[in-house]
């Protein structure tokens, strides 16, 4: 490969994985100074991808999760073939994610050898799940390894930031705390609702502004009596993903489960405390500068189990983390 390399990246479908993949894009930019990078992305993630300055062009692929969508893939592959990409890096492990580069006859098609897709790839790597961190798993496909110099960093538009801050009445006269209680993967990654409520009340007593942020407007917290004061505001289900990204960038402190919003917060240089339960902070850590945050993880004998629901039905990996502990750890980021 040479410095004029033209890359087509098949992006992951999860928010957090897309953010992590920016380290791969930064690595490619360092290794191939004049390279061109385009990306195929799910429609709901396009605005996030547009905040990655390494990417020139984005192709939306609107296909449902379990749908093969062969006709749509063929049409997109026919369009892509016109641009003579030299290399495609396929980040998802599914069979169908490797179809478009193959149909487009891209000369070098790189990915992990999974789901019997060996004939769709011509540079294959074996995968032992959870052996490497996710970021190094991606970087391995380009013979790289992670360092802080290629940490994900979304590009923030200051004018849009001011506009979104005014829309949601962000009050900079007090510290702004954003609490992100969701984790789409499953309950075993979600710190219990009563602990989020207790934590919010601690911050209320300190006269901070508290915002709950996420996409699930029906989340349990809405019905627990926590939102009785003007200083505790629910934005659950009220923002777009782009707006949520900007709100995270405006926060003085963000506290999250291991989730997509955690990775976004890490990429916008916000002070961040990340709560891990069934997943591993060694596999999908927030890629932060350590001075801006930390991970809270109990490392019990039963964890990480990587399950959606606690197989032992006690959820001690999260129940053993108290609101007092999180509050105590957070004070140094607010002083």
Domain boundary among 92, 116, 150: 150
* 209 DSSP β-pair partners: 176
Per-residue pLDDT of 280-295, as tens digits, reads 999 999 999 877 999 9
Gap between the Cα atoms of 23 and 151, Å rounded:
6
Q: Could you say which of 119, 150, 181 is where a domain stops?
A: 150
| Same domain, residue pair 90 and 129 | yes
The pTM of the full predicted model, rounded to 2 decimals, is: 0.95
Mean pLDDT, all residues of the chain: 93
pLDDT reading at 227 higher than 70: no
Q: Does 1 fall in a domain?
A: no
Residue pLDDT, tens place only, 70-81: 999 999 999 999
Domain that holds residue 64: 6-150
Long-range contacts of 52-57 (CB under 8 A, 24+ apart): 52/22, 52/25, 52/154, 52/155, 53/155, 54/22, 54/25, 54/26, 54/28, 54/29, 55/9, 55/25
The pLDDT of 143-152, averaged and rounded, is: 95
Burial status of residue 311 (CB atoms within 10 A of its CB: 0-12, 13-18, 19 or more): exposed
- Six-digit token string for 280: 């591993």
Residues 131, 168, single domain; the answer is no
State residue 273's pLDDT score: 98
Query: How far is CA 301 from each of CA 191, 284, 285, 298, 312, rounded to the nearest angstrom?
Result: 18, 19, 19, 9, 12
Residue 300 φ/ψ, nearest 5 degrees: -70, 165
Report the pLDDT value the prediction gives residue 1, as an integer from 0 to 100: 41
In a domain, 127, yes or no: yes
How many domains would you assign to the chain? 2
Read off the pLDDT of each residue in 299-313 and give the average, rounded to a whole number.
95
Residues 96 and 194 in one domain: no
Same domain, 80 and 34: yes
| Domain endpoint, select from 125, 150, 175 | 150
- Per residue in 13-50, pLDDT (tens digit) is 999 999 999 999 999 999 998 999 999 999 999 999 99
Q: How confident is the model at residue 64 (pLDDT cuts 50, 70, 90)?
A: confident
Q: Which of 54-58, 87-91, 113-117, 232-236 has the lowest mean pLDDT?
A: 113-117
The 10s digit of each residue's pLDDT in 238-262 is 999 999 999 999 999 999 999 999 9
DSSP helix, strand, coil percent of the chain (3-state; round to 5): 35, 15, 50
pLDDT at position 100: 97
Least confident stretch, 30-44, 152-166, 207-221, 310-324: 207-221
Residues 103 and 190 in one domain: no
Q: Is the dihedral of CA 39, 13, 129, 52 positive or negative?
A: positive
């Amino acid at each position: 490969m040479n410095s004029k390399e033209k890359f087509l990246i098949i992006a992951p479908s999860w928010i957090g994985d897309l953010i992590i993949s920016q380290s791969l894009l930064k690595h490619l930019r360092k290794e191939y100074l004049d390279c061109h990078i385009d990306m195929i992305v799910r429609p709901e993630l396009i605005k996030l991808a547009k905040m990655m300055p390494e990417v020139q062009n984005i192709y939306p692929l609107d296909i449902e999760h379990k749908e093969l969508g062969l006709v749509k893939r063929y049409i997109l592959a026919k369009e892509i073939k016109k641009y003579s990409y030299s290399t495609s890096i396929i980040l998802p492990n599914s069979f169908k994610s490797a179809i478009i580069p193959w149909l487009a006859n891209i000369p070098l098609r790189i990915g992990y050898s999974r789901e019997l897709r060996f004939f769709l790839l011509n540079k294959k790597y074996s995968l032992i799940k959870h052996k490497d961190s996710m970021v190094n798993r991606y970087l391995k496909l380009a013979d790289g390894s992670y360092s802080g110099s290629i940490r994900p960093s979304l590009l923030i538009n200051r004018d849009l930031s001011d506009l979104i801050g005014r829309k949601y009445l962000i009050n900079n006269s007090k510290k702004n705390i954003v609490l992100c209680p969701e984790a789409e993967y499953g309950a075993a990654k979600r710190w219990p609702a009563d602990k989020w409520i207790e934590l919010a009340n601690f911050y209320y007593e300190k006269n901070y502004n508290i915002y709950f942020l996420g996409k699930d407007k029906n989340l349990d917290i809405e019905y627990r009596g926590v939102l009785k004061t003007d200083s505790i505001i629910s934005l659950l289900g009220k923002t777009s993903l782009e707006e949520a990204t900007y709100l995270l960038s405006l926060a003085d402190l963000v506290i999250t489960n291991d989730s997509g919003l955690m990775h976004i917060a890490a990429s916008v240089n916000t002070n961040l405390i990340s709560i891990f339960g069934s997943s591993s902070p060694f596999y999908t850590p927030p890629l932060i500068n350590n001075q801006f945050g930390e991970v809270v993880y109990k490392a019990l004998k039963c964890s990480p189990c990587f399950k959606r629901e606690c197989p032992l039905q006690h959820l001690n990996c999260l129940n053993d983390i108290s609101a007092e502990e999180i509050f105590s750890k957070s004070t140094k980021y607010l002083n």
